Structure 1
Amino acid sequence: MNLSKYLPLQYLRVTWRRVALFLITLLAVVSLQHLIAAPSPAASSLPNNSTSSAIAVASVQNGDQLIAQSSDPTTVNYDSLTEEQKALADKILLFAGTFGLVAYLFTSFCLMKIADKLDIPNSWLSWVPIAQIWVMVRAAGKPGWWLILFFIPLVNFVIGLIVFFSIPTSLNKSSLYGLLIFVPILGVFLYFGLLAFT
């Protein structure tokens, strides 16, 4: 989207990019402050006496016994699930694992193609999990030591945004391609696919 032909401002592209990065960073900081400042609802609703979390046995009219357990979700494990719940959990884990594997293979292949386009040495490192970050940093045109910044909490989020918005500019595309990362589920596929194959 090039608005500079409609507006006389020569610095519109740089300004738009800076405004977008500022708003995304501001949103991240506000979200993190909300998570840090807000009390956990589970922590505030904990019972004060220890007897309420114990197993209670009550008599029913026909002489059978009813066993009531606490409804604390942290005490539920896989063995305590019913067969239907176990089958559902297995399907969810299978889908999540398959989706994660497909996403990893696709992004690694696309990152290798991007590295080949930019003549980055050792593009095969895009298949190695931690080295993959180094390839992304180099594709963004940043120094290789930026890899260390990805291991610092909160700094890694900002550096990741800078890298994701800088890779398209290295390929002579709009930095707004970086916004594709925020599209739910398909964003990673769109971002890396468009950069690798267009």
Structure 2
Amino acid sequence: MAKFAKPADGSWTEHFGLDTAPVSYADSIDPAHYELEREAIFKKTWLNVGRMEQLPRTGAYFTRELDVAGTSVIVVRDASGTARAFHNICRHRGNKLVWQDYPREETSGVCRQFTCKYHGWRYDLEGALTFVQQQKEFFDLDMSEFGLAPVRCEVWAGFIFVNLDDDAQPLVDYMGQMGADIADYP
């Protein structure tokens, strides 16, 4: 049975006193409005980026171009089996870290570490910087301060979600009753 019963007489429009005139669609096509939505919504909400089946073993990874949030992320299965996510950017010069032939193309694979194609900085599966070419050329370089920038990553029912907002509520709280209602769905 429907959660909301149809009004006994008339239509939904009549029942709720809604107008039938056309409405402005300017907010749907305005670039400035879209930028506001990107900041207020897409950079602050949980975004589904894949499934755990895409990460079948340690070192399995894939990238996602999150155009709505203006970023690219790497999602990887670490040695403990945990899905982790990082901004797809080398901390040395800000270049894209993982890409194949075209930087905007999504990719996947299996690796033991991520190596920047420009200057060879290497990161382990937990995002820690593990190797810098000619490290002595960098005065007072504290490698622990230059790991990959993490992105919040949580898994629910095999679905991998990321959130660019460090202060966002946990995924299960965000999903609320809906998540509880479908948690055991096959």
TM-score tier after normalising by the smaller chain length: under 0.3
Question: TM-score w.r.t. structure 2 length?
Answer: 0.21
Greater Rg over alpha carbons, structure? 1
Query: TM-score scaled by structure 1?
Result: 0.20
Which has the larger helix fraction? 1
Report which structure shows greater RCO (CA 8 Å, sep ≥6).
Answer: 2
